[in-house]
Structure 1
């Protein structure tokens, strides 16, 4: 049985000192991963330089993204950035990547929001480019969306063959891709095709269990399963405030009750369904969640 792992999403700070303090707070509290989101709008730091700063302030904490929007960067550039982060953090990079989805980001930057199927095809191709460039020697790729000609990337990542990748999503096509290509899958609510927010039709215990089954059926080998905590007590994750949290009460995405109750629920989901990686999405809930991390980690 896999051990529990816990991550926390951190979005912003107004100084280097404050940001380093947040990273050290997570490390001291026993969290495994610090995660930074990737959006062009809103009060959020850019993920890769923010994680580099967190690396300099910590020694154990792993450095992740929840999640990078593939459409914002060419995978050759992203491969170099992430390999550099991995080297300079002594092998602690743990990048999460997705298609990109938030319509407001695309509109603000003047980027076209392609249909989900196109974005998913582009993500699949980007993953092939990332892994190819992180391998030994020059890499060439001629695809529908990207072209790379004999590029021998420097640096290569410290973790071999490459940093563990996380994919997050709720739609069946993305979950199948994640099962084939990622080391870890974060099970989420499916996003509406127009990028306006979570799909209200995708919720409840049955839908959540079906996602677990789909990943397990598709994955060629062992894979880490996890999800995001959208409500802890009275604290809701702001990103998903439009989601119908009440429909998720039976899933591990909503945690109510005493410390004993919550630890019992998470132990149940690990024992019965193999979920071991839980991500807290709201800093306001850190103090309340820290004792749970201490007991289970």
Structure 2
């Protein structure tokens, strides 16, 4: 199986001067051979909202998967979100993938507070929300989960595909690994070491088997931040500036938490190949560059080096 290649759109307000250029960015990525386009989600800092971004990309693109990386459902009314996702699934003719998460301790509590959702039981709420979406898409008129309960549900917009878009889980904690294997269609973590990825995927597969699901029911993906540059020292300075602007944390801290690759083509190619060897089948690349213009240059470089890693022919 060929490994698929995706790219995260630079939707942060500090990265673009005209939001419509993001659609052009997505179209360019599709023409370069990327398999997927992704939009992230946070209330910490101005950006183009991810579902709005994917709705704009749906008619402008033809074949690429459109994904959230990752959507935080707690910030939205769950019944309304089911309708929004089904609508994007129709607009894209079934090209939507929804990766979800529950937020980050020490960072997301304020997002929950302004969304008027309790931080406690957030994982149960997330799993219930996903189950509710699936129930609505199946035409069910009531839902009784551990956190969410509805005795009467309105008729909801059916998705383009039977069963609705695939739903992936972000995260690599022990509970996330077990839940990914048991409940979700894909797994999208960002472990900083390929060995950690391999071990996590083995746990996901065991949970998948224990739950009686088909072999390989869960698509193994990887979220990785990349900067291609010959001068490693200069690259690390740029990466540090990117991390501080994005998280308020230095690169030295972020690299211990997330998969990051900075350096010349050979280093990036070799590291991506190690993740693929560990089982990753879909690479979602975030570009560590400050603007649409600088990301466009990297977009072409990453497309070129990722093709041999993914075992795909070159194409425009």
Structure 2 length as normaliser, TM-score?
A: 0.77
CA distance in 1, matches of 2:31, 2:3: 17
Map 1:115-134 to 2 at 5 A.
Answer: 115=120, 118-134=121-137
CA distance in 1, matches of 2:262, 2:145: 47
CA displacement 1:173-202 (0-9 Å, x = unmatched): 11211122222111235xxxxxxxxxxxxx
Kindly report the root-mean-square deviation, in angstroms, between the aligned alpha carbons of the 2 structures.
2.7
User: Helix, strand or coil for the counterpart of 2:162?
Assistant: coil
Indicate if the aligned counterparts of 2:69 and 2:100 stay in contact, CA closer than 8 A.
Answer: yes
1:5 corresponds in structure 2 to: 4
Determine which of 39, 58, 61 is the counterpart of 2:61.
58
Determine which of 200, 223, 246 is the counterpart of 1:211.
200
Q: 1:46 to 1:61 in 2, by over 3 A?
A: same
CA displacement 1:12-45 (0-9 Å, x = unmatched): 4444531221111111121111111111121311
CA distance in 1, matches of 2:255, 2:115: 35
**Does 1:274 pair with 2:279?**
yes
Unaligned runs of 5+ residues in structure 2 are 229-234, 290-294
CA distance in 2, matches of 1:159, 1:73: 23
CA distance in 1, matches of 2:142, 2:117: 27
Indicate if the aligned counterparts of 2:75 and 2:115 stay in contact, CA closer than 8 A.
Answer: no
Alignment length (residue pairs): 276
Map 1:139-154 to 2 at 5 A.
Answer: 139-151=141-153, 153-154=155-156
User: Helix, strand or coil for the counterpart of 1:139?
Assistant: coil
Q: 1:77 to 1:268 in 2, by over 3 A?
A: same
CA distance in 1, matches of 2:117, 2:133: 23
CA displacement 1:52-111 (0-9 Å, x = unmatched): 111121111221111111211132111110000001111111111111333365277264
Give the Å deviation of 1:268.
4.2
CA distance in 2, matches of 1:8, 1:290: 10
Indicate if the aligned counterparts of 2:194 and 2:275 stay in contact, CA closer than 8 A.
Answer: no
Map 1:63-78 to 2 at 5 A.
Answer: 63-78=66-81
Give the Å deviation of 1:49.
1.2
CA distance in 2, matches of 1:169, 1:268: 20
**Does 1:106 pair with 2:119?**
no
Q: 1:110 to 1:163 in 2, by over 3 A?
A: closer
Determine which of 225, 228, 235 is the counterpart of 1:230.
225
**Does 1:255 pair with 2:264?**
no
Q: 1:107 to 1:180 in 2, by over 3 A?
A: closer
Indicate if the aligned counterparts of 1:98 and 1:123 stay in contact, CA closer than 8 A.
Answer: yes
Indicate if the aligned counterparts of 2:37 and 2:67 stay in contact, CA closer than 8 A.
Answer: yes
1:293 corresponds in structure 2 to: 306
Give the Å deviation of 1:121.
0.9
2:232 corresponds in structure 1 to: none
Map 1:74-89 to 2 at 5 A.
Answer: 74-89=77-92
Q: 1:140 to 1:109 in 2, by over 3 A?
A: same
Q: 1:157 to 1:45 in 2, by over 3 A?
A: same
Indicate if the aligned counterparts of 1:55 and 1:89 stay in contact, CA closer than 8 A.
Answer: yes
CA distance in 2, matches of 1:58, 1:213: 35
CA distance in 2, matches of 1:169, 1:294: 26
CA displacement 1:230-284 (0-9 Å, x = unmatched): 3434364634655635558xx9x343555455444434433x4221111112253
Indicate if the aligned counterparts of 1:66 and 1:97 stay in contact, CA closer than 8 A.
Answer: yes
